[in-house]
Structure 1
Amino acid sequence: MEKNIIKSATKRYLIICFSITYLSWGSIALYSRIKNVNFNEHTWMLVLYFIGVISPAISAVFIEKIYEKKKYKEVIKGIFRLPVHKRDWIIGFVVVCALQLLPYFVWDGEILSSFANLIFLVPMFLIIGGMEEIGWRGFWLERELQINNKNRIWVVLKIGMVWQL
């Protein structure tokens, strides 16, 4: 792919990615601020959070579909890889439950989230935990290295700085 096309694809990727993230997370922040509610009180807020988390993968899929249709199928296959062993599912479930309940046991807080949220969080952490990597490292890093292969450390630092936004 030509450098101009790569730059155009990267620019579109970043616009789509940050638009999805800021719209979904901004909605959560605005609603929770106006209504004075906690983030985990409503399942729909977790759904918006989930969409924000996977926005790098969503953006990568859109851009791959437009620019490189052959790679598009590989990206889709890479997204939906589930844990293979039952042990991984059990460990994941226990860890998610423990992390959800830990603040209430340590600081004697009151449990505000519903059981439905816990059911939603388990697959969220197990299945989509690495989906953002598909976008940041799988899409953007690969494109940046095609443009600037000589300065790999700077490319990785640049992506890390943007990622933290």
Structure 2
Amino acid sequence: MTPQSDEDEIWRQIVASFHAPAEETSAGQPWPDRENITPRSGDQRDRDDLADPLGERALADGGPPAAGRGGDLHPDADGDDDDDHYVPPPPPPLPKVELGTKIAWLALFGGPAYLLLAALLRWPMDGWILFAAVAAFIGGFVALVVRMGDGPPKDSGWDDGAVV
């Protein structure tokens, strides 16, 4: 037989067994026996909880699922157990902004904001007002770019490695 005919025969066997019933596992379970859950005590409620994990039996009876009876999907709804929750540390304080930087930001946004507000409210705009608003925008932008600084930090030493 050629390798191609062997493959064809194997393929025919796979197709023929497609509709055949699957092999039965132990006790009809699709998982190993060691993964079965056993009740913690001989109490009938524990067995009922294992059989009805979402509390559908209690909902069918007209009552809400009881806490601790398997029907409570959110056992920590009251927030009693804070040990399992991550509480981040308080954020560090914001850095102090110099007066020159504050004025530059005010000029950068203040000039166009004034022009927009004046146009919407139809305020009369003289030539010097337009010039001041545009000059404030350009001056604020230039001041922020100049203050930005692109060099390495002063305390980086002689070998600061790659600077991105």
Instruction: Give TM class, smaller chain.
Output: under 0.3
TM-score of the aligned structures, taking structure 1 as reference length? 0.25
User: Which structure ranks higher in relative contact order (CA pairs < 8 Å, sequence separation ≥ 6)?
Assistant: 1
TM-score of the aligned structures, taking structure 2 as reference length? 0.25
